[in-house]
Amino acid sequence: MSSRRPLIFVLATLGLFGCAPQLLEYDATAPAAVLAPIAVPGIEDARPEFRQIFCTQLTEAELASGESCSGYLHRLRDEAPPESAVPIVPMRAASVRILLIPGALSECVGTSGLPFRSGAERLRELGYRVETVKLSGRSGTEHNAAQIADELRRNPREADAPLVLIGYSKGVNDALIFLRRYPDLARQVDALVSVAGSVNGSPLADRYSGIYSMFAGLSVGNCPSGDGQMVASLERPRNLRWLAENPLPTHVQYFSLGAYSDRRHFARALRLFFASDLTRMEPRNDGQTLFYDQIIPGSVLLGYVNGDHWDVAIPLREKMPFFAGNTAGSADFPRSELLQSIVFFVEQYLSTHRSVDTAPDHMPVEAPPGRGRAK
């Protein structure tokens, strides 16, 4: 026996010494995946159907046609071919009411922080009722869930208009907490859509929550401090624990639309501050969250848009053209078309999968963790 043969164990470590590399490569077409607590339900795949609607919208807007649509909506290896999609003609019936739920820091950058602002305008022209909930941009999810509850107390669901919440980024977490904390009000909700949602939180919050807490009480101009829990409420362990411990209400239909892009298409600010750490963890990220952290367990997967965390939902380039722009020089993401596609798809889905003329009458069997406004 060779005396050197035990060195094979060292070879088993792949002989890696020295510097920490980026282990995973950016592969835009690798299969969709979800990181989730072990017992949570699976995902329903509606990517071909959503692609159909989104690409139609882009074609009508003369922004893309045919395969070029994939430039905006990733086609992953595990997505069923387009011909397998059930043909969908959007109803455009304006039969649903939309409540947009903004993400973190939304009030700090004026109207540029409001998700899908121009898209909402266009939907209103089509007859849809679209509102944006005013949330505290720097508060935690418990605080903002209470604000969503207040909004629904003031403007309750109309009997004949299913209520669809569309959450962006942390807005998704706020909405999920709301659904569990306020079961009586949550009965009004028919669907929740996550757009680039930080469903499992963000690893960036794990790193920065301690530091942020030192400055959390500092109010800056139009950016009040809120309850200071904005970053802490996005910590990954906390969100994964919450998902494991809190089965989501079953009367709500959940939809998820993820986002990721290559670094060249990241806003310069995201690329500077966050991209390298996130990319080392998982190259498919949007500059704020990882692609496998963006999916609500048990939801209908709509797809993954090709854009960074800001570009897919908020017009930040209006305010900061350089830092919110990217080195690839790509144009704004077609957010209006994206919002319309989401709404048309959800409207169609709800009309074919459930009765939409009455409020849902069943609630989850699990006891809610608490009621009333969170402290």
Per CB under 8 A, residues contacting other proteins are: 1-2, 5-6, 8-25, 27, 30-43, 45, 77-78, 203-204, 206-208, 210-211, 215, 236-237, 240-241, 243-245, 268-269, 272-273, 276-278, 280-282, 292, 301, 320, 322-323
- Using DSSP, state whether 89 is helix, strand or coil: coil
C-alpha 206/C-alpha 210 separation (Å) is 8
**Residues 48/67/316/343 CA torsion (nearest 10 deg):** -30
Instruction: For residue 333, give the nearest of 356, 352, 361, 314 by alpha carbon.
Output: 314
- 31 or 372: CB nearest other proteins: 31
Angle 202-205-210 (CA atoms, 0-180°, nearest 5)? 165
CA 45, chain centre distance (Å): 16
What is the DSSP-derived secondary structure letter of residue 321? Answer: T
Q: How far is the CB of 306 from other proteins (least distance, A)?
A: 19
- 295 or 339: CB nearest other proteins: 295
| DSSP states of 234-246 | G-HHHHHHHHHH-
| Cβ contact 90:54 at 8 Å | no
Q: How far is the CB of 30 from other proteins (least distance, A)?
A: 5
| Cβ contact 258:294 at 8 Å | yes
Which structure tokens are listed for 217? 């009480």
Q: How far is the CB of 63 from other proteins (least distance, A)?
A: 28
- 85 or 240: CB nearest other proteins: 240
What is the DSSP-derived secondary structure letter of residue 241? Answer: H
Q: How far is the CB of 59 from other proteins (least distance, A)?
A: 27
Could you give phi then psi for residue 325, rounded to 5 degrees?
Answer: -85, 175
- 147 or 213: CB nearest other proteins: 213
C-alpha 21/C-alpha 261 separation (Å) is 20
- 90 or 224: CB nearest other proteins: 224
| Cβ contact 137:234 at 8 Å | no
Which structure tokens are listed for 174? 């706020």
C-alpha 130/C-alpha 122 separation (Å) is 10
Q: How far is the CB of 21 from other proteins (least distance, A)?
A: 5
C-alpha 298/C-alpha 129 separation (Å) is 27
- 157 or 265: CB nearest other proteins: 265
Q: How far is the CB of 49 from other proteins (least distance, A)?
A: 15
C-alpha 41/C-alpha 293 separation (Å) is 15
Q: How far is the CB of 73 from other proteins (least distance, A)?
A: 16
- 20 or 367: CB nearest other proteins: 20
Q: How far is the CB of 369 from other proteins (least distance, A)?
A: 15
- 251 or 271: CB nearest other proteins: 271
Residue 83: which residues within 8 A CB-CB, separation 6 or more?
Answer: none
Q: How far is the CB of 35 from other proteins (least distance, A)?
A: 5
- 1 or 159: CB nearest other proteins: 1
Instruction: For residue 242, give the nearest of 234, 230, 251 by alpha carbon.
Output: 234
- 20 or 159: CB nearest other proteins: 20
Q: How far is the CB of 285 from other proteins (least distance, A)?
A: 11
